[in-house]
Structure formats: C-alpha cells, structure tokens
Structure 1
Amino acid sequence: MMNIDLHTHGKLSKKTHFSMEYFLSMAREAKENGLHAVALTEHFNTLNFTDMLDQLDQHFDYQHDYYMVEGLKVFSGMEVDVANKGHILIIGNRVMIRDLRQQLEPHTAKDSFMQLEELLNRTDGYPVLRIGAHPMRESTPLTHHAADTLQRLDALDVNAKDLFQYGFGMADEVRQFADQLGLPAIAGSDSHQPLQFGSVLNRLDNNCDTAEQLRSELLTGNYQLEISACLNVKVKAAQMMKELLKKSMVVA
C-alpha cells in the first residue's frame, strides 16, 4: 500500500526562490500526515524552475522516477498552463521533465501558452502520468476543451483547494465529469504550504516506483481517494499562513 498526494508544490509561490529549508518542512509535514509519497508538480513558469531541480539533484538520491527525501518518495513533475485556460500535471522521470521544460521555454507567458493538443502530442509515448488539474475551477477550467482531447489524459484532479472553496460537492462534480470521459478521479492537495498536507490523498493498493506504475494503478482502479474531515481547517490554515509568510517576505 502507498499513500500519495499527486498535486503538490515545493515553493510558497511562483515568485519566491526555492528554499531547501522550506521544502524540507513540506516533506516532513507530508510524512507526519501519513503520506509515503508526493508528486512535486511545481508550476513550469515559476521563478527558476530548473534551479529547484538542480538543488534537489545535489541533495537527494534519485532512483526510478523519484527523489528519496528523508524517507518520503518525491516524484518529479510539473504543472503546465495551456492556451485557452487549464492546467495539466505531468509526472515522470526528471530527464523527461527537464527536456519538456526546455521545450516550453517559449510558452511561459500567458499570451504564449502551448495548446493542450500540442502538449499531449509532445508527451505521447512517454512513460508519464498526465492529469487534468482542478478541471472545474472557475479561473482555470478544462470543461470547455474537446472531450476527445481530454480523454487523452490519464486522470482528473479532485483538488483540495476547490473542495474548500466550492464545497465537498465539487468532488462529485469532478467524478461525474471524469466518468463522462472514462477517466479516473484522483486526489491532489495543491499544497504550497505544509499545513495543507493530509487534506486529501490517494491510497494505492500497491507500492509504486515509477510514473508508469502510478498510471497503471490509477487506470486499473487499484486505489481509494480519501478526503479528510479536517480538510476545511487544513486548507484555511494553510492559506492564512501562506499570506502571512508572503507579507513577511515583502517586509523583509
């Protein structure tokens, strides 16, 4: 069995530099909340994305598709904005993530985001896991994209931030949308702050070492999506702490 959060961030915000101390506080909190693994899906257009990977490479052993961080598996990944709204999580080997990030360099600004179809074309055939992030969030929905395009994804994200904002009924809406597409619905906390870990998780029947193994477990239904009864407290506390930390950085 393996408990994994498939949508997490290693930085407080896009505009902050990567901090190893902050990242380790995230990893430790994830473990304390019963997680065995997380997917590090930092925004592709965050400040110094590759610097984050460079630091991880220097400090942690990497095997299969994950860094081993104090006993926590941290799968390498990335969250990519696409044209006409929407975010896609790509989880895979760090070599592939670095290569894709380089390909996306001309597409980091809002007016130049890559089309969803092109992003899928560029990752077709690779042993990666592709997830539609927060597909029904008002600011970045995926519902307007063509069904046959969305069906090329591997799963849709039941997102903790959306459950907090819109209510727990959002989980049913995402599940229904996923069912229409023939996709599984998975859990992602969307954590930028340690307190948010444990708000949601995926309890896999089997331990996984690669993105392809994760994909297989999800597509065969060998997992349970769990939503914490403490989700609202966790997300609200995380959001409040995030705002306080951002203000302290501005003051500093």
Structure 2
Amino acid sequence: MMNIDLHTHGKLSKKTHFSLEYFLSMAREAKENGLHAVALTEHFNTLNFTDLLDQLDYHFDYTNDYYLVEGLKVFSGMEVDVANKGHILLIGNRVIIRELRQQLDAHTAKDSFIPLDELLDRTEDYPLLRIGAHPMRESTPLTHHAAATLQRLDTLDVNAKDLFQYGFGMADNVQQFAEELGLPVSAGSDSHQPLQFGSVINRFDKDCHTAEQLRTELLNGNYQLEISPCLNVKVKAAQMMKELLKKSMVVA
C-alpha cells in the first residue's frame, strides 16, 4: 500500500529561491499526514528550476524515479503551462524531466507557451505519467481543448485548491468530465505550503517505484481517491500562512 499526493510544490512561490529547510518542512509534514510519497511537480518556469533539481541531487539519494527524503519518496516532475490556457503535470525520471525542461527553454513566457498537442507529441514516447492539472479551474481550464487531445493524457487532477474555492462538488464535475473522456482521476493537493498536505490522498493498493508503475496502477484502477473532511481548514490555513510568509519575505 502507498499513499501519494500527485501534485505538490517544493517552493513557497515561483518567485522565491529554493530553500532546503523549507522543502524539508514540507516533506516532514507530508509524512505526518500519512503520505508515503509525493510527486514534486514544481512549475517549469519557476525561478531557477534546475537549481532546485541540483540541490535535490546533492542532498538526497535517488533511485528508480524518486528521491528518498527522510523516508518520503519524492517523485521527480514538473508542471507545464500550455498555450491557450492549461497546466499539465509530467512525472518521470529526473533525466527525462531535465531534458524536457531544457527543450522548453523557449516556452517559459506567457506569450510563448507550448501548444498542448506539441507537448503531448514531445512526451509521447517517454515513460511518463501525464496529468491534466485542475482541468476546470476558471483561470487555467482544460475544458476548451479538443477531446481527442485531452484523451492522450493519463488522468485528470481533482485539486484540493479547487475543492476549497468551488466546493466539494467540483470533484464530481471533474469526475464527470473525465468519464466523458474515458480517463481516470487522481488527487493532488497543489500545496506550496506544508499545512495543505493530507487534504487529498491517492491510496494505492501497492507500492510503486517508477512513474510507469504509477501510471499502470492509475489506469487499472488499483487505488482509491480520498478527500479529507478537514480539507477546507487545511487549505485555508495554508493559504493564510503562505501570504504571511510572502509578506515577511518582502519586509525582510
């Protein structure tokens, strides 16, 4: 059995530098909330994305497709903005993530985001888990993209931030949209702050070591998606703490 959060961040925000101390506080809180693993899907156009990976490489052992951080599996990945709105989570081996990030150097600005079809073409032959992030969020929806394009994804993301903002009925909306496409759904906290961990969890029937194994278990339905009854408290507390931390950093 393995409890995993498939959409997480390792930094407070895109504009902040990577902090090992902050990242460790995230990992420890994840473990305290019953998680055995997380997918680190930091924004591909965050400040110094490669520095984040460099520091993880230096400080932690890496095997299969994950770092081992004080007993927590941290699968490598990134969150990519696509043209005409939408975010895609890519989870896979760190070598692949580095290679793809380099390919996206020309696509980090808002007016140059890569088209979704092109991103899917580029990643088609890689052993990756590809997730449509928060597909019904008003600011970055995926619903306007062609069904045939979206069907190339592996899952759609039931996102804790959206459940807090729009209500728990959003989970049913995403589930219905996914069913129309013939896709499963997976859960991600979308946390930039430790307090958000545990708001949603994917409970896999067996342990996984690679992105391919994660993908197989999701496609075969060998997991349960769990939404915490404390989600609203967790997300609200995390958002309040995030804003306080950002203000303190500006003052400093």
| Class of the TM-score when normalised by the shorter of the 2 chains | over 0.9
Paired residue for 1:218? Answer: 218
Paired residue for 1:116? Answer: 116
Paired residue for 2:88? Answer: 88
Letter aligned with residue 234 of structure 1: K
Paired residue for 2:78? Answer: 78
Distance, in Å, in 1 between the alignment partners of 2:236 and 2:4 is 21
Distance, in Å, in 2 between the alignment partners of 1:55 and 1:132 is 27
TM-score norm. by structure 1 comes to: 1.00
Distance, in Å, in 1 between the alignment partners of 2:212 and 2:185 is 17
| 1:87 CA displacement | 0.1
How do 1:1-252 and structure 2 match up within 5 A?
A: 1-252=1-252
Aligned with 1:89: secondary structure?
strand
**Identity level (%):** 87
| 1:178 CA displacement | 0.4
Letter aligned with residue 59 of structure 2: H
Distance, in Å, in 2 between the alignment partners of 1:185 and 1:95 is 26
Letter aligned with residue 79 of structure 2: E
| 1:125 CA displacement | 1.3
Distance, in Å, in 1 between the alignment partners of 2:94 and 2:208 is 16
| 1:123 CA displacement | 0.4
Letter aligned with residue 140 of structure 1: T
TM-score norm. by structure 2 comes to: 1.00
Structure 1: 5+ residue stretches without partners: none
Structure 2: 5+ residue stretches without partners: none
Write the deviation string for residues 126-148 of structure 1: whole angstroms up to 9, x where unpaired: 11000000000000000000000
Distance, in Å, in 2 between the alignment partners of 1:202 and 1:183 is 16
Letter aligned with residue 251 of structure 2: V
Distance, in Å, in 1 between the alignment partners of 2:230 and 2:52 is 31
Q: Which runs of 4+ in 1 moved over 3 A?
A: none
Letter aligned with residue 235 of structure 2: V
| 1:230 CA displacement | 0.1
Aligned with 1:73: secondary structure?
strand
Write the deviation string for residues 122-174 of structure 1: whole angstroms up to 9, x where unpaired: 00011100000000000000000000000000000000000000000000000
